[in-house]
Amino acid sequence: MSVRASATLPSPAVSRRQIAIAGIILGAIAWVITIPPIHVRSLVPSIILAVIAVCAGAWSAAGGERKLGIEAIVLAVLAVAGAEASAHSALGTLESVFTWSALVAATLRYMTPLLFAALGGVISESSGVTNIGLEGMMLMGAFWGIYGADLLHSWVWGVIVAMISGAVLAAVHAFFSIHLRADQIVSGFGIIFLALGITGYFLEYHYGPNGTPLNISMIPNVKLPLIQHVGFFGIAIGDANLMTWIGLALVPALTFFLFHTRGGLRLRSVGEKPRAADTLGLPVLRIRYAAVIASGVLAALGGAYLSVGFVGSFSNDMTNGRGFIALAAMIFGKWKPWGALWATLLFGFGSAMADRVSSVNPTLGTLFEALPYVVTLIAVAGLVGRSRPPAADGIPYVRE
């Protein structure tokens, strides 16, 4: 592109884009004003805002910002539906659903296991190995975490055993996908079945029909001394689990590693251009092994949070599809740690809302459970902007 073109193009394009984003924000506001703490009890302001948002979306869509524009329109329509729902609900109901402090706390709880697994997925796929098996690795972490914590009487050991189990299972996946050049999606599925079988088998073998013992040493919550009793913040973040904070800390740490260190550059180069990396003397296969095993460790930490950190016991298939949601979050987050964080926060919020709504209206709550998946479907279909996996993701590397 010539210098002139790049100099003249931005200004109109950016303004269309800004209008679309403004439309999205207006659409969101149209709904937000109808719920606590503002709760406007009339539909009129929401409709006015939504109409403006639709106009903004349509204008920018016509001007080339198709995805953002359509997104603004969709959001505005949803906002009116949401506002309509709020307007028809009793104030007390609204207050009990939208207790923001409790919602934030629940969001963090639901987010934590997803975040660990999604970050694991980011590492593995950045190195060029698709990891559908996150679910299985989480499950291993969940069971062996409990086993370790029970056997060695300490949650620290539980977490360590969980990490080892995740690493072992990930090593199997790595061996099949890197060395044997298996189809990585199929091999990932094999990993999941294997984990289901192994955890179920050893649960029964070690603990029998009574299940895991009740007095497991659990990962503690972090009581923030200053804000623990400060109203909103106290409830929202004053008493979150240690793993939640570790997970949140991992996001900038991993971003720094991936994008600002030599090791991260190597990892990404192996995932984008393995041939070039090999030519430069990088050990492609070894880096991929390390990445897949690291992803197994992270996913297992997510599983360990579920069992040792939150529930205090293990039951069969207790991850219940969270590995797949984490996978979706990774894709939704465009294969980046921060993206994964926002996506898992969104999914966590969806689950927290579903919980809340269920307590008022179980039928509606069930439908809310499906919401994260619908959102992912829309995201993958490209309304939110096409995300691009690492170029060599899922392709075994063969040296010439």
Half-sphere exposure of 253 (CA within 13 A, CB side): 8
**Residue 69 interacts with another protein (CB under 8 A): yes or no:** no
CB of residue 388 to another protein, shortest distance in Å: 5
CA atoms within 13 A on the CB side of 103: 17
Residue-wise burial string across 57-91, b where 16 or more C-beta atoms lie within 10 A, e elsewhere: bbbbbebebeebbbbbbbbbeebbebbeebeebee
Sign of CA dihedral 347, 352, 358, 360: negative
Q: Does 68 bind another protein (CB under 8 A)?
A: no
Residue with smaller CB distance to another protein, 109 or 334: 334
Site string for another protein, 226-265 (x = CB under 8 A): ----------------------------------------
User: Closer to another protein at the Cβ: 234 or 389?
Assistant: 389
For another protein, the closer of residues 312 and 365 by Cβ is 365
From the centroid of its chain, how far is CA 69? Answer: 25
Written as six digits, the tokens of 78 are 């949803």
Q: Tell me the C-alpha to C-alpha distance, in Å, between residue 210 and each of 136, 145, 200.
A: 23, 18, 13
Q: Are 53 and 71 in contact (CB under 8 A)?
A: no
Is 221 or 361 the residue whose CB approaches another protein more closely? Answer: 361
Q: Which of residues 160-189 bind another protein (CB under 8 A)?
A: 172, 176, 180-187, 189
* Interface pattern 79-98 for another protein (x via CB under 8 A): --------------------
- Our finding on whether 151 is near another protein (CB under 8 A) is no
Q: Could you say which of 70, 142, 195, 300 contacts another protein (CB under 8 A)?
A: 195
Answer left, alpha or beta for residue 390, where phi above 0 means left and psi between -120 and 50 means alpha. Answer: beta
- Shortest Cβ distance from residue 370 to another protein (Å)? 4
Q: Does 223 bind another protein (CB under 8 A)?
A: no
Total of chain residues touching another protein, rule CB under 8 A: 66
Q: How is residue 228 annotated by DSSP?
A: T
Sole binder of another protein in the list 100, 193, 256, 259 (CB under 8 A): 193
| Residue 198 touching another protein (CB under 8 A) | yes
Helix count (H) and strand count (E) of the chain? 18, 2
Tell me the two tokens of residue 276: 């070039």
Sequence-ordered list of residues with C-beta below 8 angstroms from that of 109, at least 6 positions apart, any chain: 240, 241, 244, 310, 348, 352
Amino acid at residue number 25: I
**Which listed residue (105, 117, 142, 392) binds another protein by CB under 8 A?**
392
The answer to whether residue 4 forms part of the interface with another protein (CB under 8 A) is no
- For residue 177, which amino acid is it? S
x/- letters, 294..333, toward another protein (CB under 8 A): ---------------------------x--x--xx--x--
393 binds another protein (CB under 8 A): yes
Q: Taking CB under 8 A as the rule, does residue 394 contact another protein?
A: yes
Q: Which two tokens stand for residue 79?
A: 């906002």
Instruction: Evaluate whether 301 touches 116 at the Cβ level (below 8 Å).
Output: yes
> Which tokens belong to 162?
């969980």
Note whether 377 binds another protein by CB under 8 A.
yes
Minimum CB distance to another protein, residue 360 (Å):
12
Helical residues (DSSP H) of 273-321, grouped into ranges: 274-279, 284-304
Binding footprint of another protein on the chain (CB under 8 A): 128, 130, 132, 172, 176, 180-187, 189-198, 200-202, 204-205, 209, 272-276, 321, 324, 327-328, 331, 362-363, 366-367, 369-370, 373-374, 376-377, 380-382, 386-398, 400
